[in-house]
Structure 1
């Protein structure tokens, strides 16, 4: 399961340089793992992203294609072939209850 790491730099200038270098490189990897850098991941935002974890587990088990997007948006493919985006767990759960009642 992906993990978030918070890295604090002594100088803001160093953080900006690293983000610029990462943007130029396009894709960062460590071994076989993809690394993504974001300019700010506050504790509040991290909690909001973590709130989707149980739902993501269910989507994985049901073989529903999904992705988390910055800052805290869950996008998933529907049975009709469209993509839906949700900023809250409640909205995503309501949609799933309606579209995938067999999941619950």
Structure 2
């Protein structure tokens, strides 16, 4: 059986078409129950030895839309603290609305700030509700409102 460090180093080299394997200090699975056969595998948490290599890996992973390794889709994300993950998740609805809009670029900056570029103007949101309202106005796709029957 391959060590997790060796497996991840090979995976990163092959999936990202790098010249050499990155030096990995640590690699381990997250502490969750083993998934059922129908569920995706547990994520790995890794520590890359050189920070510039980590930045390159994250940059490449973000530019490749459908990252594959041995026929399986993989995803690479930075490891954020749980509080930051929760704050960033609050922007999911706004990002979903903006996703397929032409002439709209957006990104989520650390720790939790949505940056939207449209027609050459750039807006920054730290309030998820305001970001969602702006995205819906921009795209004309307001969320259906609940109406109470009398």
Deviation track 1:57-99 (CA, whole Å, cap 9, x = no partner) reads 11012232100111111001123x111111111121233355x
The Cα shift of 1:102 comes to 1.5
Superposed displacement of residue 7, structure 1? 4.3
Local SS of the residue matching 1:28: helix
When normalised by structure 2's length, the TM-score is 0.45
Q: 1:51, 1:45 → 2: CA distance?
A: 10
Alignment of 1:77 with 2:117, yes or no, is yes
**Matched residues in 2 for 1:83 and 1:76: separation?**
6
Which residue of 56, 60, 74 maps to 1:27?
Answer: 56
The alpha-carbon distance between structure 1 residues 61 and 26, as it changes in their structure 2 partners (threshold 3 A), is: closer
TM superposition score normalised by structure 1: 0.61
Task: Say whether the 8 Å CA contact 2:91–2:131 is kept in structure 1.
Answer: no
> As a proportion of its length, which structure holds more helix?
1
Choose 49-58 or 87-96, whichever is displaced more: 87-96
Partner of 2:87: 48
Please identify the structure whose Cα radius of gyration is greater.
2
| Superposition RMSD in Å | 3.1
